[in-house]
A and B are shown apart, each in its own frame.
Chain A
């Protein structure tokens, strides 16, 4: 009788320890993923960011409900942009023009990159820019180290399927001129 009770007690103890280990493991994994992402803010996301960018605005008078034709498994985007970028260091913002109209079948994520010789540095990266939205401001990353002057740079535009969130195998680079002011 006593032996049976001990066995039951040991099993319960084992199950509690197992649950504690699983819980600690899950918490550790979650923390690792969160910290890893916050350490690497310019990493290209494999899947579409959950949040629409804070600076994204709906394009006014964008009444074109007809999407561009995209073959199965492919995509189509219509983009309007300016090659001039102005950065205010005091505001920690970049003034840009990039439109992703409703005609696009893809959502977008924008990276602003400064180029110096062979070196490239991401200085701003948007959250999601859904079709029908424009971006005229980008928040500079904390890691962006710039001083006043003129720079060469580029937009790197990544596209995401709005239904599956998967990143497309096609991306776009647009060379831009960057003017940095205090």
Chain B
């Protein structure tokens, strides 16, 4: 019985060595021989990050006062006026109330375009608005896509609104004179 078991085990060992040598492409038959095997891989396209648009928009009170041109003080000695001033617009809270800030938290770049449209009516028809600020060209700025892990430093632009053109003299209380539109488009 023991002999039979030993024979069976030896036979199994021999067969298993045989199957390994059959499977190897280049069986190692010398003491210093070598073998190689291909490592195979397949490329499967990962899911592309879909566009996620997320933008913050902040604005000041946007309240302005128009001062009409002043002729100044008459000087009878030389028949001239002195101390006159040209008509002008001034923000009631300069540096804060005339600002519009756009911050891009999207994973795509965004173009912010600023425009001003006066209210309808003769008193407002001559008013125009311009937007200036770092990175703004022709009232528009491109804001780069958000960078992973850098929320606090997201691309942003701050526009300052300046008005020009005359306001009708009948508007002597705080009145809506126009509206600002911020258009958020994509490059290309």
Interfacial residues, chain A to chain B (CB-CB below 8 A): 68-83, 103, 168-175
The smallest beta-carbon distance between A115 and chain B, in angstroms, is: 13
| Residues of the A chain whose Cβ atoms lie less than 8 Å from the Cβ of B58 | 68-71, 74-77
Q: Which of the four size classes fits the interface of chain B? A: 20 to 34
Q: Are A74 and B57 in contact (CB under 8 A)?
A: no
Distance in Å: Cβ of B173 to nearest Cβ of chain A: 16
| Nearest CB of chain B from residue A135's CB, rounded to whole Å | 15
- A172 and B179 within 8 A (CB): no
A-B contact pairs, 28 of them (CB 8 A): A71-B61, A72-B93, A73-B60, A73-B93, A73-B97, A74-B58, A74-B59, A74-B60, A74-B97, A75-B59, A77-B56, A78-B55, A80-B54, A82-B51, A83-B51, A103-B56, A168-B59, A169-B179, A169-B180, A171-B179, A171-B181, A171-B182, A172-B57, A172-B182, A174-B53, A174-B185, A175-B185, A175-B186
Closest 3 CB pairs of A and B: A73-B61, A76-B58, A173-B183
Query: Shortest beta-carbon distance, A75 to chain B, in Å?
Result: 6
Binding site for A on B (CB under 8 A): 51-63, 93, 96-97, 99-100, 176, 178-186
Our pick among A74, A76, A173 for the contact of B181 (Cβ within 8 Å) is A173
Are A80 and B53 also in contact (CB < 8 A) when A73-B61, A174-B183 are?
A: yes
Known: A76-B56, A77-B56, A79-B55. 12 other contacts (CB 8 A): A71-B58, A71-B60, A73-B62, A76-B57, A78-B55, A79-B54, A82-B53, A170-B57, A170-B59, A172-B184, A174-B183, A174-B184
- Report which residue of A70, A76, A79, A169 has the largest number of chain B beta carbons within 10 angstroms of its beta carbon: A169
Neighbouring A residues of B62 by C-beta, 8 Å: 73-74, 169-170
Q: Which of A74, A80, A172, A173 has the most CB of B within 10 A?
A: A74
Give CA–CA (A69, B183) in the complex, Å: 21
Contacts of A171 in B (CB 8 A): 179-182
Q: Are B184 and A169 within 8 A (Cβ)?
A: no
